A and B are shown apart, each in its own frame.
Chain A
Amino acid sequence: GNSVTQMEGPVTLSEEAFLTINCTYTATGYPSLFWYVQYPGEGLQLLLKATKADDKGSNKGFEATYRKETTSFHLEKGSVQVSDSAVYFCALTPSGSNYKLTFGKGTLLTVNP
């Protein structure tokens, strides 16, 4: 079946540090890939997405590139801020089925001033 594996957290960084959160997936065909962010006490928000191989999604300084050859969609940001502290979820929808999101377990990021 389809699955998403994220690096285990928590991740603690200092402000302005470089962030990488690894995400790999298992799915047949060409899934669409997403990163969602959940701030404390809130629901999930779509951060960025990529719908085909080699696409790069980007938003708010975050980037992720859809790598078919390594089945990966790692999230990166060059300089994190305290306001980036949240839980980050990698997710996919399999090709041919465009409604059901399959999520990774989530990675808690804490950024210290």
Chain B
Amino acid sequence: DSGVTQTPKHLITATGQRVTLRCSPRSGDLSVYWYQQSLDQGLQFLIQYYNGEERAKGNILERFSAQQFPDLHSELNLSSLELGDSALYFCASSVGVGLAGGNEQFFGPGTRLTVL
């Protein structure tokens, strides 16, 4: 158990809908990262927050947004869903802002999103 929790575990929805994925980082971790894992694209970095502020953006679609709240949990919002958004979405957390000096990212178990 990494200490990172994600809810829900599974989500099934229809095209055009909007969903919210939730992540609680390990106690004491200030940084949260979101990744998407799909069969065709593999594992891709989406976005990072540190202590409530956005720090880095990767291959995140405009239909997707995220935020980190004062209690440090994070939510990833996916809207106008398409079939191709079906994937496993991982959240990871770390103490600081990056990986320098061994600042490891700890991954949650993921949320499996199925868009029908």
Contacts and interface: CB of A to CB of B under 8 A. Distances in A.
Interface of A: 32, 36, 41-46, 49, 89, 91, 93, 97-106
- Contact residues on B (Cβ < 8 Å of other chain), bracket: 20 to 34
A49 B102 CA distance: 9
Contacts of B4: 43
A101 B35 CA distance: 9
B76 to A, nearest CB: 15
Nearest to A106: B42
6 contacts: A36-B107, A43-B4, A43-B110, A44-B107, A100-B58, A103-B42
A93 B107 contact: no
B52 interface: no
A41 B58 CA distance: 25
A3 B48 CA distance: 19
B45 interface: yes
B107 to A, nearest CB: 3
Given A46-B104, A46-B105, A98 B43 contact: no
B42 A100 contact: no
Given A43-B90, A106-B42, A99 B108 contact: no
Contacts of B99: 32, 93, 98-99, 101
A41 B55 CA distance: 29
Contact of A101 (B97, B102, B105): B105
Interface in B97-115: 97-100, 102-105, 107-110
B37 to A, nearest CB: 9
